[in-house]
Amino acid sequence: MHLKRGSRSKVEKSCVDFDEGVFGIAHSEIIAKEDMQQLFEHEELGITVIHTYIWYMYVTLMRGTELCNRFNFIAASRINTTFITKNPTSVKNELVDRFMAAGDNTTPSLYFLPFNSGNGGHWVLVAMDLSRLMVYYLDSLSGDWSKYPSMKKTVDA
């Protein structure tokens, strides 16, 4: 695992290195003690916590296996309500770039996009099956696409 800890004896911040396999682009993110407290105190989860969880699943379950060809993730920090509202074309291009980076899109695979609705911090999961041109919307609360029009418009395109 590529988790770098701060220099203090009590770890307050850590750097998580995401290789290209996780989100299609290599990058690093800082996760702080406060971020992890969100889990324990049942608070709204931030993007860093969501990304770190995806990174952990990737490293422990997927890296170096056939699962890397079947399941892909899209970074929530790059596709979100704020970006969709400000520049929808850029967000659509980001999605297309991510799909194209995976190579052969005829192989059955799912792309998972954790999406913060901006509605009280509620997260939903969008699963896109390119081989079938299907989009699955997974919401722990009852609801439908109409609650998140910016996400629906972007994914539909």
Rg (CA), the chain: 16
pLDDT digits (tens, 9 = 90+) for 69-84: 788 888 887 776 677 7
Tokens describing residue 83: 């970006």
- Residue of 156 and 24 predicted with greater confidence: 24
The percent of residues above 90 in pLDDT, for the chain, comes to 4
Question: What pLDDT is stored for residue 144 in this prediction?
Answer: 63
Q: Which residue has the higher pLDDT, 54 or 139?
A: 54
Say how far apart CA 121 and CA 15 lie, in whole Å. Answer: 24
Does position 8 have pLDDT exceeding 50, yes or no?
A: no
Per-position b or e across 60-95, b if 16+ CB within 10 A of its CB:
eebeeeeeeeebbbbbbbbbbbebbeeeeeebbebb
> Do the beta carbons of residue 119 and residue 147 sit within 8 Å?
yes
User: Tens of pLDDT along 14-29?
Assistant: 888 888 888 888 888 8
Given a cut of 60, whether residue 9 has pLDDT beyond it is no
- pLDDT bin (cut points 50, 70, 90) of residue 47 is confident
Q: What is the pLDDT of residue 10?
A: 58
Per DSSP, what are the bridge partners of residue 116?
Answer: 123
| Integer Cα distance of 97 and 73 in angstroms | 13
The superfamily (CATH) of domain 3-156 is: Adenoviral Proteinase; Chain A (3.40.395.10)
Residue spans per domain, the chain: 3-156
| Structure confidence at residue 7 as a pLDDT band (50, 70, 90) | very low
- Per DSSP bridges, beta strands 71-73 and 110-116 are parallel
pLDDT value at residue 119: 62
Confidence of residue 103 (pLDDT cuts 50, 70, 90): low
Over residues 99-112, the mean pLDDT reads 69
Tell me what the mean pLDDT of segment 27-39 comes to: 83
Residue 5 pLDDT grade (very low, low, confident, very high; cuts 50, 70, 90): very low
